[in-house]
Structure 1
Amino acid sequence: MGEQYDSDLHLHSQYSGGTSPRMVIREIARGAAKKGLDLVGTGDILHPKWRRHVRRELVEDEYGLLKEPKTGVLFVPTVEVEDERRVHHLIILPSLDHAEELHGELSRYSDDIDAEGRPHLRMTGAELADLLKDHDCLFGPAHAFVPWTSVFKEYDSLRECYGSAMDRVDFVELGLSADSDYADRISELHEYTFLTCSDAHSPYPHRLGREFVRFELEEPSYDVLKAAIRRKPGGRVVLNVGLIPELGKYNRTACARCKRQFELEEAERLNWRCPECGGTIKKGVRDRVLELADLEKPKHPNHRPPYLRIIPLAEIIAKALGLSTITAKKVRAVWNSLVRRFGSEIDVLIETPIEEIAEVDERVAELLKSFREGTVNIRPGGGGEYGKIITEEESEREEPRSRKPVQRTLDELIGRG
């Protein structure tokens, strides 16, 4: 048996559009340590300035991964790229030298590879997959179901996207608005490892690691990580951890401007134009999965690990305290008290007994208990707006609403105890 590593393999640097200027290695490592992450992706590793920054800030550890010296957080080179059909793909690389080589090859197909952390490529997904055959990397579609820039926004199957290079696809990243139950209603996906990642644009714990993968690795090396994702001896995925899909900002079909939500048939009848504000209605992940599903219920293959649904701790604290913002001083104070006492946000969310959390704050403990038992109500997200936890009183007044499905405890999910 190897050691377990909580890992977030998809995030971005300050060189990607819409990201925080604090997305530098030191801040990412600090945020990862507070969250409880052991391994994170560098993001944006094809960008020359970011690659130089990574070389300065990280050192190679004894197993060949990169390490931030002060925190001990491990990094692996990663990048998200956009193809000519606006489909996003995630690439995981063994080293900075490999990233340098790949930059040289892909620069022939990109006008912004030296300016944008998430470069645009004049290639199809199939052409990209074919080019990567000669590189020792891991590759798969990023946030596969989102309605703007994903494989299932543009295609009805992976094969339509990757064609004869299908054997080059190592994983499917689910995205924040989907989970294993959603994806495993599509039998084509049963053969793939699912990755759950944050796609973080800031280093704060409510963004970084909001979705992560728990790997069991014989050693923390790229080769063993690759073995785990490809389901070969040496490593394995033991847990996917992510948001309740309804909390994702693209879960329901909704107007991208005013966020009004629609049933799929209504959106089609309106020709995808909002009658309230004239904005574009975007098809939600839930409805897209229903279109693609060839199974009435999810059928999980034997290799599929459990999926544990979580939510950022700051959101739980803010709701428990009756505050409207997760950055309020009172929220930070309770968050700091819990993390200092119990080790990390992940520890608080899924490992620490509720009675011990109650010693710090009974209100937070009560809400977290409801969350773990599956008795919280959710106002689903859509149109680019995240879903929200709502009280029983709010749920009676507001539509649409969704009750989080009951999930087993972590011990029950992984057969511990």
Structure 2
Amino acid sequence: MQIVADLHLHSRYSRAVSPLMTISEIARWARKKGLDLVASGDWTHPLWLRELKAGLTEAGEGIFTSGDDFRGPKFILSTEIASIYSQGGKTRRIHNLVLAPSFGVVEKINLALRKRGANLMADGRPIIGLSARDLAELIFSIDKNCLIIPAHIWTPWYSLYGSKSGFDSIKECFGEFSDHIYGIETGLSSDPAMNWRVAELDGRSILSFSDAHSPAKLGREMTIFKIDTPRLEYADIRKAIREQQIKLTVEFYPEEGKYHYTGHRKCAVVQSPLQTKKLGTTCPVCGRPLTVGVMHRVEQLANRPFAINRSGRPNFVKLVPLAEILSEVLSVGVSSQKVINEYERLIKSLGSELAILLRIKPELISRVGGKKLAEAISKVRQGKIVVTPGFDGVFGIVKIWPDQGQPPRPSQESLF
């Protein structure tokens, strides 16, 4: 069977996260998005962990449902941990996803982190002083069936390969535990093809998840796993990641990610990799360092040229969220009531957002949502859109019809 999964999200106990990120809302929006499996998020936080234990019912070893609601989605115990430490004369800031097979294992990990001085109440995404290597040692000493997945690996400030505080290799980051890193998360500013250029990622799963900070952002990236068994268990997901049993990943257009290009937001300076190679990484306006973007960082670490597809690797598809498409179709802001109402009507009439964006025929979309919406979704499916790349924390801008004015972008969009 196929499992559509989003294994990276946050609860309302994390910084800059919507108060609507509750178990029931996560489940409700996951159904709208077409997700079969979602992360619990933030199980290191004591208050959220208490809610998870009270609100989730085991529906398979290491797999849960929201109460007695067996409509789905299923939940898996996944959290993000931020390591900030010094190594090699440089401050490192590395974010890792940690998946655990049971609440018992979660409790042991949390106890071990507290003994190491971690303040788990401070944030749903705790900051610890352990190195990525030492975190791996701690996690795997408690249960070797846990998974560690480096999160959004190209983000400049907080990731494995980040230009500001990361490493040049998995081995340098995780040491002797690097062979136990079975997959990585692409992040919004990169896609699988960009990651295929790095040889050390051969043999590792290229995974894509949303890192959602609000319910509507669930599923903006997702991974579709191929599962051999009829009843899903944690071990099936671990096996799928370890053995690259992936049918497809659904991607944000990486240009839309907020660190795709190199630049300096305050001075409105933005550079492509070619320009950065020629002009350097110093802001020509203020003289301060530019934030080196994901595309340039990939060029620095790449061992091979770009390829549209690679033998043995799963396919991927790039989509634009339905709300963003509706925003342009209706010429209103993405968070406007008009977009919200039309989104809900389409979901009720046609099915999940994933089905609308990927599978439903344009003729049916046209009958229900109008010709302009059908045309817009067809253009997105064919890649016939224009994206102005994001840089230095500024999201890129998608245009389906480049000559049409850009709708206003409200401040709520800062909630990832």
TM-score (normalizing by structure 1): 0.88
- Counterpart-to-counterpart distance in 1, 2:357 and 2:105: 37
Deviations 1:259-309 (A, max 9, x none): 531245766888755454677521111111011111012486654210111
Match for residue 205 of structure 2?
Answer: 193
Identity of aligned residues (%): 35
Structure 1 residue 243: Cα displacement: 0.8
Which range moved further: 45-54 or 121-130? Answer: 121-130
Structure 1 residue 130: Cα displacement: 2.2
Match for residue 131 of structure 1?
Answer: 138
Query: Are residues 1:244 and 2:258 paired?
Result: no
- Counterpart-to-counterpart distance in 2, 1:348 and 1:369: 11
Structure 1 residue 51: Cα displacement: 0.4
Q: Helix, strand or coil: the match of 2:127? A: coil
Match of 1:353 among 346, 361, 381: 361
Letter in 2 for 1:208: L
Match of 2:125 among 118, 121, 131: 118
- Counterpart-to-counterpart distance in 1, 2:308 and 2:360: 31
Match of 1:6 among 4, 10, 14: 4
Query: Are residues 1:228 and 2:240 paired?
Result: yes
Deviations 1:238-260 (A, max 9, x none): 11111111111111112143553
Cα distance 1:259–1:18, how it changes in 2: closer, same or farther (>3 A)? farther
Cα distance 1:344–1:258, how it changes in 2: closer, same or farther (>3 A)? farther
Match for residue 335 of structure 1?
Answer: 343
Match for residue 414 of structure 2?
Answer: none
Structure 1 residue 75: Cα displacement: 0.5
- Counterpart-to-counterpart distance in 2, 1:317 and 1:299: 29
Q: Helix, strand or coil: the match of 1:76? A: strand
Match of 2:27 among 21, 26, 29: 29
Cα distance 1:254–1:190, how it changes in 2: closer, same or farther (>3 A)? same
Whichever structure has more strand as a proportion of its residues is: 2
For the 8 Å contact 1:258–1:279, the answer to whether it is kept is no
Cα distance 1:229–1:299, how it changes in 2: closer, same or farther (>3 A)? same
Cα distance 1:75–1:330, how it changes in 2: closer, same or farther (>3 A)? same
Match for residue 109 of structure 1?
Answer: 116
Letter in 2 for 1:339: I
Return 5+ residue gaps in structure 2 as ranges.
86-91, 407-416
Query: Are residues 1:164 and 2:171 paired?
Result: no
Cα distance 1:254–1:346, how it changes in 2: closer, same or farther (>3 A)? same
Match for residue 54 of structure 2?
Answer: 56
Match for residue 79 of structure 1?
Answer: 79
Letter in 2 for 1:92: L
- Counterpart-to-counterpart distance in 1, 2:62 and 2:160: 32
For the 8 Å contact 1:42–1:75, the answer to whether it is kept is yes
Match for residue 331 of structure 2?
Answer: 322
- Counterpart-to-counterpart distance in 2, 1:389 and 1:174: 20
Which range moved further: 342-351 or 62-71? Answer: 62-71
Query: Are residues 1:42 and 2:36 paired?
Result: no
Q: Helix, strand or coil: the match of 2:184? A: strand
Q: Helix, strand or coil: the match of 2:11? A: coil
- Counterpart-to-counterpart distance in 2, 1:253 and 1:129: 31
- Counterpart-to-counterpart distance in 2, 1:123 and 1:295: 33
Cα distance 1:345–1:256, how it changes in 2: closer, same or farther (>3 A)? same
Structure 1 residue 99: Cα displacement: 0.6
For the 8 Å contact 1:257–1:383, the answer to whether it is kept is no
For the 8 Å contact 1:170–1:230, the answer to whether it is kept is yes
Deviations 1:60-88 (A, max 9, x none): 11444110133521101111111122111
- Counterpart-to-counterpart distance in 2, 1:271 and 1:110: 41
Match of 1:89 among 78, 90, 96: 96
